[in-house]
Structure 1
Amino acid sequence: MGGRSFFDQGSLLRPRELGTGEDEYDVEERAGQLSRNRFAGLTPVRPEPGIELTPPEPEQAGTTALEPAPTDKQRPDGGLGRPRWAAAEPGSFDATGARHPRLEGMTPPMVAAPGRTPAVDGMDPADDALLQQTQRLLRESLAFAGGAAAVATRLREALLAASPALFSALPGNAATQTERLAEGLTWLVDHLDQPPVLVGGSARLGGALAACGVEPGQLQFAGAALAEAIRAGSGAGEWRQEFEVAWRSTWQHLYEWILHGEATAGYEPPVWTAQVVSHELRRPDLAVVKLRPYLPMPFRPGQFARIQVDRVPGVWRPYSLAGAPRRDDLVELHVRAKTETGVSGTLVHHTQVGDEVRIGRAEGEMGLPDRPDRNLLMIAGDTGVAPLKALLAELADTGDARSAVLFWGVRDLTELYDIEEIAEIARSAKRATVVPVVSEGDPGPYASGLVTDAVAAYGEWSRHEVYLAGPPLMLAATSAALRLLGVTPDQIHHDAPE
C-alpha cells in the first residue's frame, strides 16, 4: 500500500468507485489529489513545562496556539492508560532542541492554507465524512467476521505463528491476551473518527510495548494478519475489497504512531493507568487490591512499583506486586493503611471497584536465582508476604523443581490475611512449603514464637538463596540472625527499605 494511509485515499472508499474491477493501486494513484488527512498535523512538539498544545480557534487559522493544560480534575495527565485526553504526546525533540533521530521523517505540524479555516480541533473538516465512512466499513466488517472476540482469537493465532516471541513478552495467558486484543479492536473502531484520541492512544500503546521488550519488527505483519482474521470469519458474499483496504490502511497509520511511542519510551518514563477490578478488606487496616492496567505492563515476580492515587496528586508510594504475570495481566497489591489519608489510606479506605490509579515502571531485582541447584528460603513479615507470594506463583507456573520454604511471621492469627490462597499456590508447586509463625496469643495450628527462632529450628540454610520482605526492623534483625546461621550476605536478597 505504500506509505500513505486510507485517509489520503478518499476516492478509494467512495461507493461509486467500488466494485469497478480497477486495480486498487491504480485507484490509490488517482486518490492522491485528496487534501492531507486529519492526522497530518499531529506530530508532537515539545512545549514549555506546564504547557500543552491546543488547537487554534477558528479566527486564528494558520497559527499555532499554546494554552495551559487542563487541570488534573479535568482529565488524566498522560499515563499509559485508556486514552481519554486528546492532546498530542510530547517528545519529538531532545533536550538540545534537535529532532530526535528515530523520529526523522514523520509528518511536520500542519499549517492551514491561506483563506482556509480549520475546524475547532485544528483539523480539516473535509475529512470528517471520510473518517465516518471508514469507521462504518470497519464496524460492518467486524460484525460480519463474528465480532471482536472471534477476530481477536484468529488474530492472536496468526501473530503467534509469525512471531512466537511477541506474546511471550506480554503479561497474561492466551485467554487474557485475546481479551485485551478484542478490547483494542473495539476501542479502535469506536475512536476512528477522533484522530487526536487515536494518535495519543497508539503512541501510549507503543510505549507500553517497548517497556515489554516488543521489537518494532514484530508488528510489521499485524495489518495483513488483521485483515485476514476478519476475512476468514466472513460468510460467503460478505467480504469486500473495500474492507481489506480499510483495515490494512488503518493499521499502516496506527503502526507509524505505535513506532513513535516506542521511540519516545526510551527517554520518557512510562506510567500506566489501571482500573481497580477487586478490592477486599481483609483486616480493618488492610486490603488486597487487584488492578488491571489498560495497556500491557511488564513486571517480574518479586518486583515493586510506585502507585499514585487521585486523592493525593503528585505523591508516589512503593508497593510490592503479588500478581502472577504468567497467569493473567492483573497487578495485586497488599496495602496496610498507616492513616485514613495518604496513598495507603486511600487505597484501603477510599477505593472501590472501577476506580483508577497510576502505576510506575516495575523496579527491584529480587527475582528467582538463575542457578537451578540453589534451593530457596523465604521469610516475610506482615504484608512483606506479597512479593514472596509472587515468587511462589512463579515456581508453580513454571514447574520449577527447586525446594522453597516460606516462613510468614505475624503477631496473631488475624494477620494471616492471605494464608488460604498462599497455601493453595504452595500446593500447586512441586516442592513448596508455607510455615506461618505467630508471635503473640494463641497460634492455633501454627508455630509460635519469633520467626527467626522458627527458621533456626527448622533446618540448615547455609546453601540456600534467602529472600526477605517486611518492615525495616524485621529485615535488619533477620539478616543478622541468618548470618549467625552460616548464611553469607551475598545469599540474602531484599529490596532497600524506603
Structure 2
Amino acid sequence: MSFSVKVEPSGHTFPLEENESILDAALRHGLALPYGCRNGACGSCMGKVVEGKIAYSDDELPPALTKDQTAAGMALFCQAVARSNLVIETREVAEGQDIPIKKLPSRIAEMTRLNHDVMLLKLKLPSTERLQFLAGQYVDFILKDGRRRSFSLANAPHDDDYLVLHIRHVEGGSFTGEVFDKMKVKDILRIEGPFGGFYLREESDRPIIFMAGGTGFAPIKGMIEHAFASGIERPMHLYWGARAKRDLYLPELPEQWAEEHTNFSYTPVLSEPMVEDHWQGRTGYVHDTVIVDHPQLAGYDIYASGPPPMVYAGQDAFPGHGLDLEHYYSDAFEYNRD
C-alpha cells in the first residue's frame, strides 16, 4: 500500500511506499528536506505532522525525539513511516546556505578507473553521519599538512549512500598522483562540505543547456539525475566537450538518458579527435557548438562546468547571443599544482 504526503508551506506532494521513511521518499522524488545523520540521532529532520498517522519501527521513539515533542505532533522524518495519507510541516532546502557544513572522516569504498586519466572514488561516511548537499556542490579533502583539494560531487542528493567523485589525474598534482598511485580501498580521508553556489535553480521554468568540459561532467551528472528524480520536464540539452573520444569517460550514460527521457538531448563535442577515433560527430570548441545550435539564448538557463578557458569563453560569447549572465551558472575547475 502506498500513501501520499503533502508538504507545507511549499505545497509539494509525493508518494511513498509502505514502510518507506518520509525522508527517503522525499529525497527519491527530488525534494530536499533537511537531514543530518538519517538514523534518528541528531534531530535535524524534525518536523510536524499536521494530518495523518505515522509510526516508527519497533514502536520505539528515535533517540532524538522526546515524548513531549511527539505529543506536540513533532516527528523525525528520517525514521517515520506513514500509516495514512499525510500533511507535514517542514522547511525545504533551496540554497547552499541552508545546509550545515561538516568536517567528517570518510572511508574509500570503491576505486574504479573510468578511462586513462579519470578515477571514480566512492566514499563511505560513518554509519551515524550523512552529508546533505545540493546537486552540483563540492567537498574539500583536508590533507595532513592542512592543504585542501576540492572536487565536485557526481551523485544526486537522493542517492547519498556514498559520496561519488570523478578525479582526473593532473600532471604535477601530488594529491591526484596519490589517488592514482598510492590510495587504496579502506583508506581514510577527511572531508569538509558541502560548498558552492553551483546547483540547479529549480524555481526556474526556462529550458536548460548544460555545458561540461572533461570532469566538469561530474556535478552536471548530479544535476541531471536530480532533475529526473524531481520530475522536471523542462527541455535539457547536455553538451560535453573533450579533446578526444577517450576523454568522454562515461559516454553511454548520457546516451541512455537521451533514450529514456524525451526532454533530454546529448551532444558530445571533440576539439582534437584522434585518427583512431573515426569520429563522425561534432568538432571544435563546445561553446561554439552551443551557439551554432542555439543562436538565440535569451530564454535559457546555462550551467557550465569544467576548465576555466571553456567556462570563461561561454561567459564572454553567450551575451552576444542574448543570454543574460544572471542565468549563467558556472563552476571553473582551477587545478592546484604542487
Secondary structure of 1:466's match?
A: strand
Q: Are 2:166 and 1:304 aligned? A: no
Q: Are 2:19 and 1:157 aligned? A: yes
1:432 to 264, 267, 283: 264
**CA–CA distance in structure 2, aligned partners of residues 269 and 328 of structure 1:** 16
Q: 1:314/1:306 Cα in 2 relative to 1: closer, same or farther (>3 Å)?
A: same
Q: 1:438/1:169 Cα in 2 relative to 1: closer, same or farther (>3 Å)?
A: same
Secondary structure of 1:302's match?
A: coil
RMSD: 3.4
The answer on whether the counterparts of 2:101 and 2:195 sit within 8 Å (CA) in structure 1 is no
The correspondence of residues 152-301 of structure 1 with structure 2, limited to 5 A, is 157=19, 160=21, 164=22, 166-167=23-24, 206=42, 210=44, 214-215=45-46, 225-228=56-59, 251=63, 270-294=102-126, 295-301=129-135
Secondary structure of 1:335's match?
A: strand
**CA–CA distance in structure 2, aligned partners of residues 318 and 254 of structure 1:** 39
> How big is each residue's C-alpha offset from its partner over 1:344-390, in whole Å with a ceiling of 9 and x where there is no partner?
22223322222222221211222222345200011111111111111
The answer on whether the counterparts of 1:340 and 1:349 sit within 8 Å (CA) in structure 2 is no
Q: Are 2:279 and 1:457 aligned? A: no
The correspondence of residues 302-341 of structure 1 with structure 2, limited to 5 A, is 302-308=136-142, 312-339=144-171
Q: 1:344/1:407 Cα in 2 relative to 1: closer, same or farther (>3 Å)?
A: same
- Segments of 4+ moved more than 3 angstroms: 166-173, 215-218, 224-227, 250-255, 425-430, 495-498
Q: Given residue 177 of structure 2, which amino acid in structure 1 is its aligned partner?
A: G
Q: 1:325/1:306 Cα in 2 relative to 1: closer, same or farther (>3 Å)?
A: same
1:368 to 190, 194, 200: 200
What is the match of residue 327 of structure 2?
491
Q: Larger helix proportion, structure 1 or 2?
A: 1
The correspondence of residues 402-413 of structure 1 with structure 2, limited to 5 A, is 402-413=234-245
Q: 1:452/1:170 Cα in 2 relative to 1: closer, same or farther (>3 Å)?
A: closer
Q: 1:475/1:425 Cα in 2 relative to 1: closer, same or farther (>3 Å)?
A: same
Q: CA deviation at 1:252?
A: 7.8
Secondary structure of 1:318's match?
A: strand
Q: CA deviation at 1:304?
A: 1.1
**CA–CA distance in structure 1, aligned partners of residues 291 and 108 of structure 2:** 40
What is the match of residue 476 of structure 1?
312
**CA–CA distance in structure 2, aligned partners of residues 371 and 172 of structure 1:** 16
**CA–CA distance in structure 2, aligned partners of residues 488 and 482 of structure 1:** 8
**CA–CA distance in structure 2, aligned partners of residues 489 and 318 of structure 1:** 25
Q: Which has the higher relative contact order, 1 or 2, with Cα contacts under 8 A spaced 6 or more apart?
A: 2
> How big is each residue's C-alpha offset from its partner over 1:68-126, in whole Å with a ceiling of 9 and x where there is no partner?
xxxxxxxxxxxxxxxxxxxxxxxxxxxxxxxxxxxxxxxxxxxxxxxxxxxxxxxxxxx
5+ residue gaps in structure 2? Answer: 1-17, 31-36, 50-54, 68-97
- The TM-score, its normalising length taken from structure 2, stands at 0.69
Q: CA deviation at 1:342?
A: 2.7
Q: 1:437/1:351 Cα in 2 relative to 1: closer, same or farther (>3 Å)?
A: same
Secondary structure of 2:289's match?
A: helix
The answer on whether the counterparts of 1:396 and 1:426 sit within 8 Å (CA) in structure 2 is no
**CA–CA distance in structure 2, aligned partners of residues 451 and 170 of structure 1:** 33
Q: 1:225/1:487 Cα in 2 relative to 1: closer, same or farther (>3 Å)?
A: closer
Q: 1:368/1:254 Cα in 2 relative to 1: closer, same or farther (>3 Å)?
A: same
Q: 1:378/1:341 Cα in 2 relative to 1: closer, same or farther (>3 Å)?
A: closer
The answer on whether the counterparts of 1:172 and 1:329 sit within 8 Å (CA) in structure 2 is no
> How big is each residue's C-alpha offset from its partner over 1:177-208, in whole Å with a ceiling of 9 and x where there is no partner?
xxx98xx7xxxxxxxxxxxxxxxxx9xx63xx
The answer on whether the counterparts of 1:436 and 1:447 sit within 8 Å (CA) in structure 2 is yes
Q: Larger strand proportion, structure 1 or 2?
A: 2
Tell which deviates more after alignment, 342-351 or 378-387. 342-351
The answer on whether the counterparts of 1:412 and 1:438 sit within 8 Å (CA) in structure 2 is yes
Q: CA deviation at 1:439?
A: 0.9
Secondary structure of 1:417's match?
A: coil
- The TM-score, its normalising length taken from structure 1, stands at 0.48
Larger Rg belongs to: 1
**CA–CA distance in structure 1, aligned partners of residues 63 and 298 of structure 2:** 56
Give the paired residue count. Answer: 269
The answer on whether the counterparts of 2:311 and 2:332 sit within 8 Å (CA) in structure 1 is no
**CA–CA distance in structure 1, aligned partners of residues 141 and 304 of structure 2:** 22
Seq. identity, %: 25
5+ residue gaps in structure 1? Answer: 1-155, 174-179, 185-201, 219-223, 230-247, 256-265
Q: Are 2:244 and 1:382 aligned? A: no
Q: Are 2:184 and 1:356 aligned? A: no
Secondary structure of 1:301's match?
A: coil
The answer on whether the counterparts of 2:139 and 2:151 sit within 8 Å (CA) in structure 1 is yes
> How big is each residue's C-alpha offset from its partner over 1:198-243, in whole Å with a ceiling of 9 and x where there is no partner?
xxxx9xx63xx64xxx23889xxxxx945437xxxxxxxxxxxxxx
**CA–CA distance in structure 1, aligned partners of residues 199 and 122 of structure 2:** 21
